Amino acid sequence: MTLTKDVMTIQRKYKIIGRNDIITQCLAADRAKKHLLIEGPVGVGKTTIASAITDYLGRTFIRVDGDERYTSAKLVGWFDPPIVLKDGYNRHTFIPGPLVETMENGGVLFINEINRMPEATQNTLLPVMDEGRLHVPKLGEINVKNGFRIIATQNPEASVGVTPLGEALRDRYVWLYLDYHTEAEEREIVQTNTPIKDEEIINVAVAITRATRDHPDIRRGSSVRGALDIASLYTQIPGDGRVIWEQAAIMSLVPKIELNDNTQKTPVEVIKALVKAVLANF
């Protein structure tokens, strides 16, 4: 059955630019009752896609942000000690965590940056993905309702504070990669999400942002958020010319890029040189 109509509806309803293939693949994974692992750089819209599709399918969307302190107890749930002292261990005294809550309502558990969770917390998902059930000590067995899915994301470029997914867990996902938009799509995103109509401002802001992604001194470039911020700031800073572009770019990009370890330049120096090179082509 074709998914073209669904894809077009999702794009229109949730104002998503492009991503035809990605939305199609996400819908196909859901129809096949598969859990999904989405990889891609920061800021390319992984959360937006997952949230839009979940809402379109009429399911609850519960988000968890992975970090090294996120324990299995937080994910599964816990018993409330004062009530346990009064009533003992039962369903009334159990506070469901995001995993149990989505299992029981047939929703989507969205785990952002799953590879920042400890391995023990990651492995809590295995019996749920394998058998559709989870044993909670002193409570019993929790079974998934129809529609339950896990959508997890990770940034393949991240290296600090991550715990790579084990082979057993990766084996239970289907996978897709979400890359940056095309240049034309990024221009459309800036035009759609700002009041700016000047094509030259949009084009320069996008070009500066895209130049960060393959610059020899930059390890991690900026997403389209950089272009949105640059264009918005450029229209508000008094004056014109290269100095204004530099100011807007520095304010926008310094928090969004990471330099290579071996570079001797500062982020400000790199951005100034980058802006100069980009403007030479306009």
How confident is the model over 252-271, as pLDDT tens digits? Answer: 999 999 999 899 999 999 99
pLDDT, block means (10 residues), the chain with 282 residues? 88 95 96 95 93 96 93 93 84 92 96 93 95 92 96 78 83 95 97 95 98 95 97 92 94 96 94 96 90
* CB atoms closer than 10 angstroms to residue 82: 8
Structure tokens at 6: 């669904």
Superfamily (CATH) of domain 4-177: P-loop containing nucleotide triphosphate hydrolases (3.40.50.300)
How much is the pLDDT for 149?
Answer: 97
SS3 142: strand
The residues that bridge with 177 in the sheet, in sequence order, are 39
Helices (H) and strands (E) in the chain, counts: 14, 11
How much is the pLDDT for 274?
Answer: 96
Structure tokens at 265: 């330049």
Closest CA to 278 of 190, 194, 181, 201: 201
Q: What does the domain layout of the chain look like in residue ranges?
A: 4-177, 183-279
CA distance 200 to 194: 14
CA distance 250 to 244: 10
How much is the pLDDT for 93?
Answer: 87
How much is the pLDDT for 11?
Answer: 96
* CB atoms closer than 10 angstroms to residue 44: 23
Q: Are strands 94-96 and 35-39 parallel, antiparallel or unpaired?
A: unpaired
Which residues, in sequence order, are CB contacts of 31 under 8 Å at separation 6+? none
CA distance 105 to 144: 8
Domain 183-279, second-level architecture: Orthogonal Bundle (1.10)
Q: Among all chains, which residue has been given the structure tokens 């609850």?
A: 60
How much is the pLDDT for 83?
Answer: 85
Which residues, in sequence order, are CB contacts of 143 under 8 Å at separation 6+? 103, 132, 133
How many residues make up the chain in this entry?
282
CA distance 18 to 20: 6
CA distance 219 to 256: 11
Sign of the torsion formed by the C-alpha atoms of 136, 169, 222 and 229: negative
Q: Are 185 and 17 in contact (CB under 8 A)?
A: yes
What does the DSSP 8-state code read for residue 97? -
pTM (2 decimals)? 0.89
How much is the pLDDT for 157?
Answer: 67
Give the C-alpha distances (Å, rounded to integers) separating 207 from 162, 220, 234: 31, 16, 14
